[in-house]
Structure 1
Amino acid sequence: MTDTDQNLLPFAFQLQFSDPVWRLVFEQIDTNPGLFVAELRSRESQTLTLVTVELPTGKIRFEQKPLLPFHTSLTGVWNGFALYHRFDNTRLPVPTALGSVDLKTGLPRWEWPNHVLVSANADRVWAQRISATDRSPAPIVAFRLTDGEPVETAENPAVSHNSRLHFPVSYTMSSSWWPVFERFIQKIADHQAVESVDYLEIGDKIIFSYYYRETNDQLRSYLLIIDRLQTIWLHQRTNLGPESAQPQSESNALPLFGNGSFCVWQNQVIFPSTSTCITSFYLNSLP
């Protein structure tokens, strides 16, 4: 097949942002309405913007430039409360504080210096104190999610997992599975994959995100979705530009979705179609 985009999937939404998308974090409580927060970063102006988006519609709920340092990064959303790590030393990417930010106003709710997130649930946050001098393991402490007040608890830290979210597994060229993926993508898409492949099976669909070098040696990324009969439902270039269109082996950046280059939320695949654009399609026909 050619490099022409091909798509048979129902459209869900597309969001165009003013600044590059650094990362997406998702609501972690299964029973809550779906949402994600896009971290937008402008290196030129050193500004951080948080855009809160409803799922499945893609409607923007809030957009704020939070009163937080540029290198602050969200760790996730629990019960509508966004937790973040503060990074004060740009040369040493180690968290220096754990806090919560109000997505509606952009104002910090609470912050605990010298703590890092262990886990969280709908009511509590578990954290561990860190020290630059003391290397001995610190005890895990618990805070209230709403206001950061310490609480006594005999519970073990909650395991964060949203059953509606599915992330791919990444395979590099050193993997024993690499020849299988390389031959399959060559057969289906007529591209020779390089560096790494993200892979996910969900329902009757099989999803690949892979890198391919064009004749001018330009590195491109593609999303390929097929079914078990090898029908191509989506084959789209996700041109992320020269900086972000790099496999993780060539980049120090965090994966855009926390784990990989796309994710599936319920019946929707969500992926970056450009460095400033997030696109979503439904994997199956709507009822």
Structure 2
Amino acid sequence: MNEKINYTFQGKIWNSTFGGDYCVLEIRDETTRQVSFSCINLSKGNILWKDLRPERSWWLSLVGIFDEFLFVHKYSSNQKPEPEGILVLAVESGEKIMMLENWIFFKYEDSILTIYQLQNNQPIYKDITLKKIADKSNSSSTSYSHEVIHYSETSAYFPTIFKFLYRLLNIHAVKAVDYLEISNKIIISYYIYSDKSFQNYLLVTNRTREILLNDLIAETEGIGIDTFIVKSDTLLYVKNQTQFVGYRL
């Protein structure tokens, strides 16, 4: 398998969002208490912009990518943070388009951004039409994701996958697996218990059981879900919390 994407960031990759061939990562540096965002073009594998801090604050979090726009919520800095504003950015350049103070994202459809705020515990809605930045084929392209299935060890399918892994790798998978069959490949994210922690591996084989990838991606105290995703014909995953990796399928 050919590695297409491999970028390491200063902080932890906390969240991600996808739209077209774009992926935006939310990076949190717990030492400096700063959050930044980075955008990757999945079809080309290059970073469009990195370590963008639209505001020097910990209280920002991704909403999503819609058309050419990236939406980010700004939160209050109290014990129970609530959205208190929306940042609108151009996804391709990272340029700030507008800041909507005291509004909350509701939906985006047909170039119309619908936002709301609460008055006397009742939502008040407002529509804003966002003009297209440019006619770019990449921004309107559709990137399909394939459904990754999570099987816990109580699932009827888990013993079959357990046997497959045992015969192939001579290991005892525990707790759960994430599983996907795509074209001629089988992708399994599995766990083994070692040295008082769970080791999470990502395995890719072909139909003849040839091992194409078997990467240790995390050592954790618990079990995760959605440990990988396939977008733009690329297998994507986070390794060791700070590394974003992609392989061409």
Do the aligned partners of residues 140 and 231 (structure 1) sit closer, same or farther apart at CA in structure 2, a change above 3 Å counting? farther
The code of the aligned residue for 1:115 comes to: I
Equivalent residue number for residue 47 of structure 1: 34
Structure 2 counterpart of 1:221, from 175, 181, 200: 200
Structure 2 portions without partners, runs of 5+:
133-140
8 Å contact from structure 2 (residues 87, 96) kept in 1: no
8 Å contact from structure 1 (residues 65, 106) kept in 2: no
Superposition CA RMSD, Å: 2.9
The 2-side partners of 1:171 and 1:120 are apart by 33
8 Å contact from structure 2 (residues 116, 124) kept in 1: yes
How far is the alpha carbon of 1:162 from its aligned partner? Answer: 4.7
Q: Is the aligned partner of 1:111 residue 2:100?
A: yes
Do the aligned partners of residues 220 and 11 (structure 1) sit closer, same or farther apart at CA in structure 2, a change above 3 Å counting? same
How far is the alpha carbon of 1:46 from its aligned partner? Answer: 0.6
Q: Is the aligned partner of 1:25 residue 2:13?
A: no
Equivalent residue number for residue 157 of structure 1: none
The code of the aligned residue for 1:212 comes to: I
Structure 1 portions without partners, runs of 5+:
1-8, 148-160, 249-254
The code of the aligned residue for 2:3 comes to: F
Structure 1 counterpart of 2:186, from 206, 230, 243: 206
Equivalent residue number for residue 186 of structure 1: 166
The code of the aligned residue for 1:169 comes to: I
Equivalent residue number for residue 169 of structure 1: 149
The 2-side partners of 1:177 and 1:126 are apart by 42
Do the aligned partners of residues 130 and 205 (structure 1) sit closer, same or farther apart at CA in structure 2, a change above 3 Å counting? farther
> Sequence identity of aligned pairs in percent?
20
The 2-side partners of 1:12 and 1:261 are apart by 18
More strand per residue:
2
CA offsets per residue over residues 124-181 of structure 1, 9 Å max, x none?
23455557x73x7x5875432459xxxxxxxxxxxxx954223412222333333333
Equivalent residue number for residue 152 of structure 1: none
Equivalent residue number for residue 53 of structure 2: 65
Equivalent residue number for residue 87 of structure 1: 75
Do the aligned partners of residues 106 and 213 (structure 1) sit closer, same or farther apart at CA in structure 2, a change above 3 Å counting? farther
- Normalised by the size of structure 2, how large is the TM-score? 0.80
How far is the alpha carbon of 1:66 from its aligned partner? Answer: 1.7
**Number of residue-to-residue matches in the alignment:** 239
The code of the aligned residue for 2:223 comes to: P
Equivalent residue number for residue 262 of structure 1: 228
Equivalent residue number for residue 37 of structure 1: 24
The structure showing larger relative contact order (alpha-carbon pairs under 8 Å, at least 6 residues apart) is 1
Aligned-partner SS, 1:185:
helix
8 Å contact from structure 2 (residues 179, 187) kept in 1: yes
- Normalised by the size of structure 1, how large is the TM-score? 0.71
CA offsets per residue over residues 26-85 of structure 1, 9 Å max, x none?
12x4xxxx2211211101111111111112222111121121631321122122211122
The 2-side partners of 1:127 and 1:181 are apart by 45
